[in-house]
Amino acid sequence: MNITKSISAIEISGRFDAHEATSFRETIEQELTTSSNIRLSLAEVEFVDSTALAELVRAMKKCREQGGDLILSEVSGPVAVILELTKLDAAFTIE
Amino acid sequence: MSTATDPQLDSLVGALVEANDQLLALYELASLSVDTLDEATAVVQILARAHKLLKTDSLALLSDPIHLVGDSEVFGPLLTANDAESLEHLRISTRGWDTVSVPTGWTITMVAITAGEPLALVAARKSKPFGTADRKLLNAVAKLLASVINTAQLHTEALEQAVIGRDHLIASELAQRALPESTPQVPGVDVFARSDPAHTSGGDLYAWSVVDGVLHFVMGDVAGKGLPAAITMTNVISAANASFRLSGSDGPAAILASMDEWLCESLSEREVFVTMLVGSYDPELARLRVANAGHSPVLYVSDGDVMDIAAHHPPVGVLPIEELLETTLTVSDGDVFLAGSDGLTEQQDASGAMFGDDRVVGLASAGCGLSAVDLGTRIFNEVESFAKSASQSDDRTLVCLTFGKST
């Protein structure tokens, strides 16, 4: 028997703040209908504010509630600093 | 004079009189001061005058509730005790009026009205069929009704919005009042605290309490903006005040853990988190202990050297706090402790550049020797001056402690 876990991939770029939160949430909700594992590439993200961080946490919890995970990948320098400052790097799966 | 022309003359005079009557009725209709009437009264008055104008036997506005003037015979079979049900029945019927059973001798004409939702004005007459002029008049009445209904709906919506706005304002002001108005008086420490919400209310907070001579304080930032964040902020302050009493003797890590226990589940349900810094200053021991849950910037300045107090935990509401972690500092005269919100460091100028952590660090470093009020005010002024014409994008909050025997 082969068990395959499908992983959705999302890439975001530019500023990730309160203005982008709604569309990000909608994208995550859409992805969660097909997969509970989401890989989120943050390589091109220049800035995240606290509202965006709250959206990332929400997405992480939704994925975990469904038995999956939100994986942050290729985390850009500015985002890495924020994750470290807030200690959220301890809460997320980062690769 | 030929008598043969009398019937023609009578007919002409009759038409002129009728036209004159119609003009007078139309004048009355047009001069009806609907602005001063409520929607229902205005509709009834317009229908009554249109009824007279059109010489209808029955005139109905198909709305909820249905308004009817004159003889209800023609509409009777379509009406039930329930207006909404009747309206639906009539709406279905009026899509194909020909299919409705019209009593013998009646003529019916109908015009659609669009005023938020589709309505229809239906006129019925026994005496003679409706002509082109009647239909034009009926259209004019329909347009007047649509205008009245639209105006009334806009007025109602504006009123509702005003009530919501007023309630929102009151709730926002009440939430902001949860912040303490005066600073604590503890030997050896001077305290400054200020919060400027970006809107009427915000999610930034501070609170303190002196228990057994020890100053316990918290500074936090609820993720999100506006009234929802402000309401969460008041919950956090309540949890802080309770935790100061319950766990203060065990220090800030225990206070933080206690607050986490109170708040984590509800914050998680609301899908928000709170970055939070908890501190306890014991003047007897000249000791400051701090526990940091995801908050930044948190700085301690001693002899001009600035130490960044890193977070011990993620923000409250993300994951339950399982370890009691804190940083202990021995304070000396002139030392400064400072905790700000991201609304200060992330304030942008007109070009989009941010104020940044470095400027705050520089101001903190240069501020040794100043009173807490002078240092705090200077930082706010610098951020304000940096922003210039750029609008405040987030709540700006600062808690500043300066230590010294003279304070």
Residues of A in contact with B272 (CB under 8 A): 54
Closest CA to B348 of B193, B198, B172, B195: B198
User: Could you tell me if A58 lies within 8 Å of chain B, comparing CB atoms?
Assistant: yes
Tell which residue, B79, B78, B86, B130, has the closest CA to residue B109: B130
Q: Which of A54, A88, A90 sits opposite B272 (nearest CB)?
A: A54
Chain B residue closest in CA terms to A62: B271
The CATH fold of domain A25-94:
Transcription Regulator spoIIAA (3.30.750)
Does domain B32-168 correspond to CATH entry 3.30.450.40?
Answer: yes
Burial class (CB in 10 A: 0-12, 13-18, 19+), A70: buried
Task: Kindly identify which residue of chain B lies nearest to residue A50, measuring between CA atoms.
Answer: B223
pLDDT at residue B29 in the model: 67
A73 touches chain B (CB under 8 A): no
**Chain B neighbors of A54, CB-CB under 8 A:** 223-224, 271-273
* B314: nearest CB among A49, A58, A87: A87
CA distance A3 to chain B (A): 30
User: Quick check: A88 and B271 CB within 8 A?
Assistant: no
What CATH number should be reported for the domain whose range is B180-403? Answer: 3.60.40.10
> Nearest 5°: phi and psi at B359?
-65, -40
Three state DSSP letters for B257-283: HHHHHHHHHHHHHHCCCEEEEEEEEEC
Give A51's contacts in chain B (Cβ within 8 Å): 223-225
- Chain A partners within 8 Å of B346 (Cβ): 49
Partner-chain contact A88 B310, CB within 8 Å = no
- Residue A74 touches chain B, beta carbons under 8 Å: no
Biggest CA–CA distance in chain A, Å, is: 45
Q: Which of residues 27-46 of A touch B (CB under 8 A)?
A: none
Q: Do B273 and A54 touch (CB under 8 A)?
A: yes
All residues of chain B having their beta carbon less than 8 Å from the beta carbon of residue A58 are: 271
Collapse the DSSP code of B148 into the 3-class scheme (helix H, G, I; strand E, B; otherwise coil) and give the result.
Answer: helix
- CB of A61 within 8 Å of any CB in chain B? yes
Can you say how many angstroms the Cα of residue B382 is from the centroid of all Cα atoms in its chain? 31
Using an 8 Å CB-CB cutoff, list chain A residues near B311.
85-87
The domain segmentation of chain B, as residue ranges, is: 32-168, 180-403
Inter-chain residue contact B273 with A57, CB threshold 8 Å: yes
**Contact status, residue B241 vs residue B207, Cβ threshold 8 Å:** yes
Q: Considering only alpha carbons, which residue of chain A is nearest residue B310?
A: A85
Are A49 and B394 within 8 A, CB to CB? yes
Nearest CA in chain B to A17: B224
- Residues in chain B closer than 8 A to A85 (CB atoms): 294, 296, 310-311
State the pLDDT at residue B88: 59
- The answer to whether the CB of B181 falls within 8 A of the CB of B69 is no
**Is B225 in contact with A51 (Cβ distance < 8 A)?**
yes
pLDDT recorded at residue B32: 62
Predicted local distance difference test score (pLDDT) of residue B55:
84
The one-digit pLDDT tens for each residue of chain B (407 residues) are 445 467 777 777 776 666 666 666 666 666 665 555 677 788 888 888 888 888 888 888 877 777 888 887 776 665 655 555 655 555 555 544 444 456 667 777 777 776 555 577 888 888 778 888 788 888 888 888 888 888 888 888 888 888 888 888 887 788 888 899 899 999 999 999 999 988 777 789 999 999 999 999 999 999 887 788 888 999 999 999 999 999 999 999 999 999 999 999 889 888 899 999 999 999 999 999 999 999 999 999 998 899 999 999 999 999 999 999 999 999 999 999 999 998 999 899 999 899 999 999 999 988 888 999 999 999 999 999 999 888 888 889 999 999 985 54
Q: How confident is the model at residue B362, as a pLDDT?
A: 93
| DSSP letter string, A17-77 | SHHHHHHHHHHHHHHHTT-SEEEEEEEEEEEE-HHHHHHHHHHHHHHHHTT-EEEEES--H
Task: Give A50's contacts in chain B (Cβ within 8 Å).
Answer: 221, 223-224, 275, 342, 394
Contact B310 A85 (CB under 8 A): yes
Q: How far, in Å, CA of A67 to CA of B1, rounded?
A: 105
Element (H, E) at A11: strand A8-16
Distance, CA of B134 to CA of B379 (rounded, Å): 75
Inter-chain residue contact B342 with A49, CB threshold 8 Å? yes
Interface size, chain A vs chain B, as Cβ–Cβ contacts under 8 Å: 57
Contact check, Cβ <8 Å, B223/A58? no
Euclidean distance between CA atoms B92 and B85, whole angstroms: 11
Task: For chain A, give every domain's residue range.
Answer: 25-94
* Pairwise pLDDT comparison (A1 vs B309), residue with the higher score: B309
Q: Name the token pair of B313.
A: 């935990």
